[in-house]
Amino acid sequence: MTLFFTNARLIDPEAGSDRIGTLTVAGGTIAAIDAQTPPQGAAVIDARGKCLAPGIVDWGVHVGEPGARHKESYRSAGQAAAAGGVTTFVTRPDTNPATDTPEALDFLRRRAGADSPVNIRHMAALTRGRAGREMAEIGFLMDAGAVAFTDGDHVVENTKLLARCLTYARSLGALVVGHPQDPGLSKGAAVTSGKFASLKGLSGVSPMAERMGFDRDMALIEMTGARYHADQVTCARTLPALERAKKNGLDVTAGVSIHHLTLNELDVGDYRSFFKLTPPLRAEEDRIALLQAVADGLIDVICSMHTPQDEESKRLPFEEAAPGAVGLETMLPASLRLYHSGDLSLPQLWRAMALNPARRLGLPCGRLAAGAPADLVLFDPDAPFVLDRFTLRSKSKNTPFDGARLQGKVLATYVAGQPVYEREAA
C-alpha cells in the first residue's frame, strides 16, 4: 500500500521540528518527506493539519500471558496499543512462570506475532524465576530474541550475583534494566513517606530508597562497564546521581512513567487504589524536577509501565490492593497534558516516547525519515474528551485517569504502512 499524507503537522523528534509537510509511504517504509506530488496510484490522505508522528515505543509493558490471561492477553494489549498510537511495545518478563528460558520466549514471540496488530519485543529475566539466586541463560535468550534483561521490581539483592550478571551481560553487549530501589526500605510500602502518608495512616517509603538503590547499581556499573537502563527514576534526589553517572561516561539511561509525570502523591485522595503504583506517586516537587529532567534530556524515556490488574485485585483496602495501572491506551492523551501546560514540546515528548527507546533497544523505528519503518500515529492534540475506563480495550480497566478531562485523540495508527486502528467518525 502506497500512502501520501498531505497537509500533515509532522512531529520529528530526531530533527526537533514541528511543521506542516507531506509524507510518502511505500513498501512498508517512509519513502519521502515533503514530496510535492503523490506517487502514481497512491492513496492520498489529507491530515487537515493534524499531527503525524512516529508510533510510540512503550518500554515495560506487562501482559498476563502466561499465568494471568484474564488480566491481559496479547490480543487485548495489541488492540489497546493500536488505539493508543503505540506501534511497538516491549514486554516485561514478570509472567507466571517468568520468561527465563529460550523456549518460554519463543512461545511468547509466536503468540504475540499471531495475536497482536502492533510490533511486540520482549525482555527476559536476568535471573532464573526472577528469584535473584542464579543467572538466567542470557546468551541463549539473546539468540532467541530478548532485547534486554531485567527482574523487574524483584530487585537482585545479592550484589555478587548481580555483578556476575552484569559482567556476563557486558561480554555479550546485552542491556540490563534495573529497578532502583533498596528492597529493605521499600518493602511493604504503599505510598511515599511524609506528612500526607502520616495523615492517611499509610505505610510509606522514603525517596532515599530509590537513591540508595540507584547508587548501588551505579557502583556496579562502574565496576563492570555494563549497559544499564533504570526503568523508573521518580525522585529529585536521584537526578544528581544520574547526571554524575552520565558525565563519568557510564553507559546509563533512565526512564520515568507517564503517571509520575502527570500525577502526585495527593492524588491518592480518599484511598483510591487505582493510584497505587510501584514506585508510589511522589511529591509535587519531585514531579516538577522530573519534568525538567525530561526536557533537558537527563531522563531519556517516558513509558506507561502498563500493569493490568483485575477488579478483585484493586477493590481492596489501599495497603492490600495490587499496585499498577494500565497505560497503553492513555499514554498519548496523558502526555499531551504536558504539552498543553507548556512544559514539553511535541518533539520533546516524542523524543522520549519513540526515538530514545527505539535507539536504546536497537530498533529501527521511532523516526520520521526516509527508509524508516512506516510505523505512524495520526492524532488531534486538541480534541477534548472525558475518559471512561470501561471504553478501554485492555481487559483490565485500572486507570487513574478514569473520569479525567483529557485532550488528544488518536485518529489512526499505522504499522509498516498498514492501518491497524482508525477512529470512527463521530
Boundaries of every domain in the chain = 55-361
Strand segments (E) across 184-339? 191-192, 204-205, 227-230, 252-257, 301-303
CA–CA gap between residue 396 and residue 394 (Å, rounded): 5
Give the tens place of pLDDT for each residue, 6-53: 999 999 999 999 999 999 999 999 999 999 999 999 999 999 999 999
Phi, psi torsion values for 222, nearest 5 degrees: -60, -35
What is the CATH number that goes with domain 55-361? 3.20.20.140
Give the tens place of pLDDT for each residue, 409-422: 999 999 999 999 99
- Is the peptide bond between 279 and the residue preceding it cis, with omega within 30 degrees of 0? yes
What would the grid cell of residue 394 be? 485492555
SS3 260: helix
Q: Determine the Cα angle at 238 with ends 165 and 284, to 5°.
A: 135
What would the grid cell of residue 347 be? 518533539
Q: How many secondary structure helices (H) and strands (E) does the chain include?
A: 14, 18
Give the tens place of pLDDT for each residue, 290-320: 999 999 999 999 999 999 999 999 999 999 9
Q: Are 420 and 118 in contact (CB under 8 A)?
A: yes
SS3 108: helix
The reported pLDDT for the residue numbered 350 is 98
Reported as half-sphere exposure (CB side, CA atoms, 13 A), residue 3 has a value of 22
SS3 191: strand
Q: In the predicted model, is pLDDT for residue 424 greater than 90?
A: no
Q: In the predicted model, is pLDDT for residue 426 greater than 60?
A: no
CA–CA gap between residue 325 and residue 308 (Å, rounded): 6
- Is the peptide bond between 13 and the residue preceding it cis, with omega within 30 degrees of 0? no
- How would you classify the pairing of strands 204-205 and 191-192? parallel
Mean pLDDT over residues 99-114, rounded? 97
- How would you classify the pairing of strands 405-415 and 418-422? antiparallel
Q: In the predicted model, is pLDDT for residue 115 greater than 60?
A: yes
SS3 292: helix
CA–CA gap between residue 398 and residue 311 (Å, rounded): 8
Q: In the predicted model, is pLDDT for residue 425 greater than 70?
A: no
Share of the chain above pLDDT 90, in %: 97
Give the tens place of pLDDT for each residue, 320-340: 999 999 999 999 999 999 999
Q: Are 32 and 370 in contact (CB under 8 A)?
A: yes
Q: What is the pTM of this model?
A: 0.96
Q: Are 354 and 86 in contact (CB under 8 A)?
A: no
| Strand (E) or helix (H) holding 336 | helix 331-340
